[in-house]
């Protein structure tokens, strides 16, 4: 990093901190503006640290491959600005236009829609980063911070929460680290925040254009980045829509939405795959197994593309996503920290299970909404991902919802006892 690049990095950090401190959007009654500014600084520092760790300890990774493809896109800015904007904003993985053939043939992620979202992001930031990849990490982490803030606001606006629930969205170590890197996780958290924030606004007033646009934008980002994670959210959204629209008990609405999802996965053909949802799950697993990633690979039990097989495999899937690595597998510092976090999560789940019945009807409906999404996403990850390291990163998009939900239940029961 040159002296100029270092100064520019500091300037952007100061700018983002000032935006967080001054902008009215980031106001909340639960924590002081100064505290939230410190959290933003911690978040963007994590994004910069993620780049440093990947560069000097892991010595590689997809984040640098995304950046290299983005450099190819950025070079078009000086050759043909129109081609640059085409590569950034038009659909990828389609027939290659003749004027774009040369840069596309040099790239590695043109055929992968989710990965190409990272190329698009890096190509946009490259205009203002002057080649400093740490600035890319800075902005990725800040978008993740905005997503986390929107999720925390959803809890604040729909429940009577305390500061610990609000803070738990940001400060769980895995959430702080995994959602701050230049991976699909930061886009997923940002998209999830947009979806949830604007969805609950729309349940109160359907005529707000900004909320409609925000909700659709979040759906689009999620769909093009990680569509299976969006699939996990559908039962929660449908059930809440049925509950609000038809005024039936929320638990009945949940049952009906799950039934609809199962029917869809079993019979409907997924566009671009020409396979049922269950068959796509099997295909995704095969794609992950073909990668043979690293030293934390695990063997998954065989599953068939049908409901019975997936249900039989569900306990093992949840075990892999919530319990592993356990104390017999934690043979590195990285895995030891993950093991400790797993123990904390297990304790939170047990305490929540014992006290859930003490919630009010409104509170339980909201928490079930969040649990339903977390459960489906953890199951999908457990069914298809044969690597503990990858699981820890992917599951962060479930934990960003699950952790504050668990903390809220425990925090509320503690207040009632006091």
* pTM score, whole prediction: 0.92
In the prediction, which pLDDT does 348 show? 93
In the prediction, which pLDDT does 351 show? 92
In the prediction, which pLDDT does 330 show? 77
In the prediction, which pLDDT does 220 show? 94
Domain ranges of the chain: 3-60+132-417
**C-alpha 106: how far from chain center:** 29
The pLDDT tens digits of the residues spanning 286-318 come to: 888 877 666 778 888 888 888 899 999 999 999
In the prediction, which pLDDT does 261 show? 87
In the prediction, which pLDDT does 4 show? 79
pLDDT along the chain (418 residues), means of 10: 83 94 90 93 92 77 91 93 94 87 92 93 95 94 96 94 92 88 93 95 82 94 89 91 86 90 84 80 84 75 88 93 85 86 93 89 93 94 90 93 94 68
């Amino acid at each position: 990093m040159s002296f100029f690049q270092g100064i520019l990095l500091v300037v952007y950090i100061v700018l983002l901190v000032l935006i967080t401190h001054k902008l009215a959007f980031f106001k909340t009654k639960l924590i002081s503006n100064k505290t939230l500014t410190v959290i933003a600084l911690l978040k963007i520092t994590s994004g910069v640290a993620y780049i440093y760790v990947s560069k000097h300890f892991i010595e590689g990774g997809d984040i640098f491959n995304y950046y290299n493809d983005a450099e190819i896109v950025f070079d078009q800015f000086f050759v043909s600005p129109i081609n640059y904007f085409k590569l950034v904003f038009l659909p990828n993985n389609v027939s290659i236009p003749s004027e774009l053939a040369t840069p596309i043939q040099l790239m590695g992620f043109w055929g992968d829609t989710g990965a190409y979202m990272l190329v698009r992001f890096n190509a946009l930031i490259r205009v203002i980063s002057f080649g400093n990849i740490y600035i890319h990490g800075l902005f990725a982490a800040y978008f993740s911070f905005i997503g986390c803030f929107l999720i925390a606001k959803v809890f604040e606006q729909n429940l009577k929460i305390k500061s610990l629930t609000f803070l738990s969205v940001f400060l769980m170590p895995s959430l702080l680290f995994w959602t701050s890197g230049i991976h699909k996780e930061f886009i997923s958290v940002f998209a999830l925040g947009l979806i949830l924030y604007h969805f609950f606004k729309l349940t109160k007033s359907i005529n707000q254009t900004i909320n409609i646009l925000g909700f659709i934008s979040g759906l689009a980002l999620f769909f093009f980045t990680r569509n299976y994670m969006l699939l996990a959210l559908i039962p929660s959204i449908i059930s809440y829509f049925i509950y609000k629209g038809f005024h039936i008990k929320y638990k009945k609405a949940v049952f009906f939405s799950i039934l609809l999802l199962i029917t869809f996965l079993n019979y409907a053909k997924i566009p671009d795959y020409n396979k049922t949802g269950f068959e796509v799950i099997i295909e995704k697993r095969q794609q992950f197994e073909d990668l043979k990633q690293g030293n934390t690979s695990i063997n998954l039990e065989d599953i068939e593309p049908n409901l019975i097989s997936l249900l039989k495999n569900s306990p093992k899937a949840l075990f892999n996503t919530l319990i592993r690595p356990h104390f017999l597998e934690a043979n590195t510092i990285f895995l030891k920290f993950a093991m400790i976090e797993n123990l904390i999560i297990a304790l939170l789940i047990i305490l929540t299970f014992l006290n859930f019945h003490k919630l009010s009807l409104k509170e339980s409906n909201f928490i079930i909404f969040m649990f339903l999404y977390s459960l489906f996403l953890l199951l999908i990850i457990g069914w298809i991902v044969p690597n503990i390291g990858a699981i820890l990163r992917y599951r962060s998009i479930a934990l960003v919802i699950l952790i504050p939900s668990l903390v809220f239940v425990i925090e509320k029961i503690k207040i009632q006892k006091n």
